[in-house]
Amino acid sequence: MISRVLGNIARVGVGDVVVVHGGIGFQVFVTPPFASELHKGDDVELYTHLIVREDSLTLYGFKTEEEREVFEILMSVSGIGPRIGLAALSVFTPNDLRRAVADQDAAALARIPGVGKKVASRMLVELGDKLGVPAELPQASAPMSGVVEAEVKAALIGLGWNDAKADAALAELGGNGLNASDLLRAALIKLGGTNGR
């Protein structure tokens, strides 16, 4: 099991990075909000989960051990695989997910791309108290700039939404003082699971 990758970032995509360590480049799939924080040439430490299948080895990377743990717990739910697990952490922080489950908020979980009402209800039943008790959420205070909006718009388009939908979501969120990661997460919640793909 590869549980951690440390190295230099050779490439950053919308939802993946290539990390070079010991002359080997590891492609690691990450959430778009996390990818927006990473830059080519930076050193990075990722907490990873390796999915082994007959025809592939796929690494999923996370900023914290907590995110990786939540990802692994999410995949214990019937019908939830790594794609939806990563999508959940693109839309919600671990604490947001704890709160949604604690509040039995199926509508919130149904905002995750690939999760409908039926799967959301199953998540509430099967997760139970596995995620733990939610803590108070901190207030975002970083100012938003045109550069941040442009980064987030590019990420949304890369995820399949068109220009008009991306612009509309960002216009509704304008002036909220969010950084790139939080703005992308808020835009994904606003757009829900109806992307253009």
Which tops the pLDDT comparison, 183 or 27? Answer: 27
> What CATH code is assigned to 146-191?
1.10.8
Which pLDDT score, from 0 to 100, does residue 149 have?
Answer: 79
**Per-residue model confidence (pLDDT) at position 193:** 54
Round to whole Å and give the CA distance between 134 and 95. 5
pLDDT in tens, 32-74: 999 999 999 999 999 999 999 999 999 999 999 999 999 999 9
User: What's the CATH number for 4-62?
Assistant: 2.40.50.140
Residues with Cβ within 8 Å of residue 111, at least 6 apart in sequence:
91, 188, 189, 192, 193
Residue among 134, 147, 158 nearest 183 (CA):
147
Q: What is the pLDDT of residue 60?
A: 97
More confident site: 103 or 150: 103
Per the structure block, which two tokens stand in for 27? 């492609």
Name the pairing type of β-strands 43-53 and 4-12: antiparallel
With cut-offs at 50, 70 and 90, classify the pLDDT of residue 129. Answer: confident
Per-residue pLDDT at 6: 96
Smallest CA-to-CA distance from 120 within 107, 138, 139, 133 is with 107
pLDDT of residue 146: 65
| Tens digits of residue pLDDT in 152-191 | 877 888 787 887 888 888 877 765 566 777 788 888 887 8
State in words which class domain 65-127 has. Answer: mainly alpha
Domain boundaries, the chain: 4-62, 65-127, 146-191
Task: Determine the pLDDT at residue 154.
Answer: 79
Give the global pTM.
0.69
Phi, psi of 196 (to 5 degrees): -85, 5
Distance CA 37, CA 95 (A): 20
With a cut of 50, say whether residue 196 has pLDDT above it. no
The angle formed by the CA atoms of residues 44, 60 and 98, to the nearest 5 degrees, is 100
* The pLDDT of residue 88 is above 50: yes
